[in-house]
A = this chain, B = another copy of it.
Amino acid sequence: MSLRHTLSLAVVLAATAGLAHAAPASDEPIQPLEAPKVKNAGMVELGKKLYFDPRLSKSGFISCNSCHNLSMGGTDNLKTSIGDHWQQGPINSPTVLNSSLNLAQFWDGRAMTLKDQAGGPIANPGEMASTHTLAIAVLQSIPAYVAEYKKVFGSDKVDIEGVTKAIAAFEETLITPNSRFDKWLKGDKKALTKDEIAGYELFKDSGCTACHNGPAVGGNSFQKMGVVEPYQSTSKAEGRVAVTKEEADRFNFKVPTLRNVEMTYPYFHDGEAATLTQAVDTMGRIQLGKSFTKEENAKIVAFLKSLTGDQPSFLLPILPPSTDATPRPTPFE
Contact = CB atoms under 8 A, between A and B. Distances in A.
A304 to B, nearest CB: 12
A282 B82 CA distance: 37
Contacts of A77: 55, 60, 322, 329
Contact of A319 (B66, B71, B86): B71
Interface stretch (A8-16, A201-209, A307-315): A307-315
A151 interface: no
Contact of A314 (B52, B315, B328): B315
A73 interface: yes
A85 B314 CA distance: 31
Given A61-B76, A78-B60, A82-B331, A318 B311 contact: yes
Contacts of A331: 78, 82, 86, 88
A36 interface: no
A319 B312 CA distance: 12
- From A60, A71, A311, A312, name the one whose CB has the most chain B CB atoms within 10 angstroms: A71
Contacts of A88: 331-332
A179 interface: no
B73 A61 contact: no
Interface in A254-284: 262-263, 265-266, 274-275, 277
B76 A52 contact: no
Interface in A62-108: 66, 69-73, 76-78, 82, 85-86, 88
Nearest to A277: B324
A78 B275 contact: no
Contacts of A263: 321
A61 B324 CA distance: 30
Nearest to A319: B71
Nearest to A73: B321
- From A54, A59, A313, A314, name the one whose CB has the most chain B CB atoms within 10 angstroms: A54
B274 A316 contact: no
B59 A316 contact: no
A317 interface: yes
Contacts of A78: 59-61, 329, 331
Nearest to A318: B311
Given A61-B76, A72-B321, A274-B324, 20 more contacts: A53-B71, A54-B69, A54-B76, A59-B78, A60-B76, A60-B77, A60-B78, A61-B66, A61-B82, A71-B317, A73-B321, A78-B329, A85-B86, A262-B321, A274-B328, A314-B315, A314-B316, A315-B315, A315-B316, A316-B316
14 contacts: A52-B71, A59-B78, A59-B82, A60-B77, A61-B82, A71-B316, A88-B332, A263-B321, A274-B324, A274-B328, A275-B324, A312-B316, A313-B315, A313-B316
